[in-house]
Structure 1
Amino acid sequence: MSDAVRVLVVEDEALIASFVEDALSDGGFEACSVHSAEAALSTFRDGREGCRVLLTDVNLGGAISGWELAQQIREISPGFPVAYMTSASAPDWQSQGVDGSVLIQKPFAPAQLAAAVSQLLGPR
């Protein structure tokens, strides 16, 4: 079992999810990917995956947006680290994002992703 920090990745587009998984892996993290907010919530509640960071797309195409997903996870686990990925919804971050979250604007370089997750976790 690796001791890499596990990141719960929520991205409904398979190509982007794959890119994100590779970027995290290159940055020394381990991705646990799901394709909907609903799946993310059940994975998180289960706790089996041991994820320590949420990295979610904002527009997930389902009933629950990335904004709402992060709010629900924060209700379960206050202070849980959250990073959002978006292209169009960046202006909404100030009003919709949870406290202390970071926003990564698409398109992004793999190193930006790993740096944002590292920033959320602080020194390790």
Structure 2
Amino acid sequence: MGNAVSVLVVEDEALICSFIEEALLEGGFEACSVHSGEAAMSTFRNGREGCRALLTDINLGDGISGWELARQIREITPDFPVLYVTSASAPDWESRGVNGSVLIQKPFAPAQLAAAISQLLGGATSSD
């Protein structure tokens, strides 16, 4: 169990969050879920969860956006894998997404999600 790669999931809608968790579990990952960018930053800074990738919605309620969250995380860990999921913000990705990130539009199939994370981690895990 402990060998699964942990993904930091940031999604403020509970139903979508559990859908993402299921998709990751099916893909062999562990999900560490939080519901705001602020909570994600403190989880990331604590490092206790040992997350290896970020999967974030763009619109996270009143706090910082997924765009901003990814930028803050990249300031700490420059090559941290980032996957955005969004229904409406895809056109902004080129201007606002971080380098090397991936974007998936809602609605998506569970397998798409796991495949995107695997792809993002492809470079990161082979050097272990």
Partner SS, residue 63 of structure 1: coil
> Structure 2 matches for 1:61-100, cutoff 5 A?
61-100=61-100
CA distance in 2, matches of 1:68, 1:38: 10
Partner SS, residue 48 of structure 2: coil
CA distance in 1, matches of 2:99, 2:78: 10
Partner SS, residue 79 of structure 2: coil
Identity %: 79
| Cα offset, 1:2, TM superposition | 1.7
> Structure 2 matches for 1:33-112, cutoff 5 A?
33-112=33-112
Q: CA RMSD in A?
A: 0.9
Instruction: Report the residue type matching 2:83 in the other structure.
Output: A
Partner SS, residue 122 of structure 1: helix
Instruction: Report the residue type matching 1:93 in the other structure.
Output: W
Partner SS, residue 33 of structure 2: strand
Instruction: Give TM-score, length-normalised by structure 1.
Output: 0.98
Partner SS, residue 83 of structure 1: strand
Structure 2: unaligned runs, 5 residues or longer: none
